Amino acid sequence: MDKFEAISKELLSLIKEWQPKLSALGDDVISERRNSQNRTIKQITGHMVDSATNNTHRIVHLHYQESPLIFPCYATHGNNDRWISIQNYQEEDWNDLVQLWKYTNVHIAHVIKNMNKEKLNNVWISGLNEEISLEAMVVDFPRHFKLHLNEIDELINQE
């Protein structure tokens, strides 16, 4: 098994573990408790959807666009909060949002597993003007995913 198949399996395992946990949460927990960024669990979950969809698009573009690729970075300069606000995750039906979270992340796991390894050195230029390779981006995705799961876990366990 190569490292990308391992990343895919790790993501699928986390999704399988977390989907029932998320689905079981009550409205007071998902809508009222806020982390240090003033985000609720609904908003964090929505951000994870945005992360999966944006990274899926980057992976696809990095397979056929010229490198380095200038691709809008949704997560810098407060833009990720704009995405959360514009899409109004706070008012989204929780069951729908959990399913969206599940399947966008199942899909990125599938895309990661099926990447063309010859494209791993293709780069995109981030919103911070850094060159990030396809490989580095994909290898970092589980860390980012788990960071937000840990934020959710902290809010679940908040007294």
pTM attached to this predicted model? 0.94
- Number of helical (H) and strand (E) elements in the chain, helices listed first: 6, 3
The band of 70, judged by pLDDT with boundaries at 50, 70 and 90, is confident
What are the DSSP E strand ranges found in the chain? 69-70, 123-125, 131-133
pLDDT value of position 159: 66
Query: Would you say 29 and 44 are in contact if contact means Cβ atoms under 8 Å apart?
Result: no
Q: Tokens 């003007």 sit at which residue?
A: 129
Share of the chain above pLDDT 70, in %: 97
Helix axes 41-64, 134-156, angle to 10 degrees: 170
Domains and CATH numbers, the chain: 3-156 (1.20.120.450)
**Are the C-beta atoms of residues 148 and 47 closer than 8 Å to each other?**
yes
List of residues 6+ apart from 63 with CB closer than 8 A: 115, 116, 119, 122
Confidence band, pLDDT 50/70/90 cuts, at residue 67: confident
Q: Which of 9, 12, 47, 54 is nearest to 152 (CA)?
A: 47
Per-residue pLDDT band at 109 (split at 50, 70, 90): very high
Nearest to 134 by CA among 147, 116, 146, 107: 116
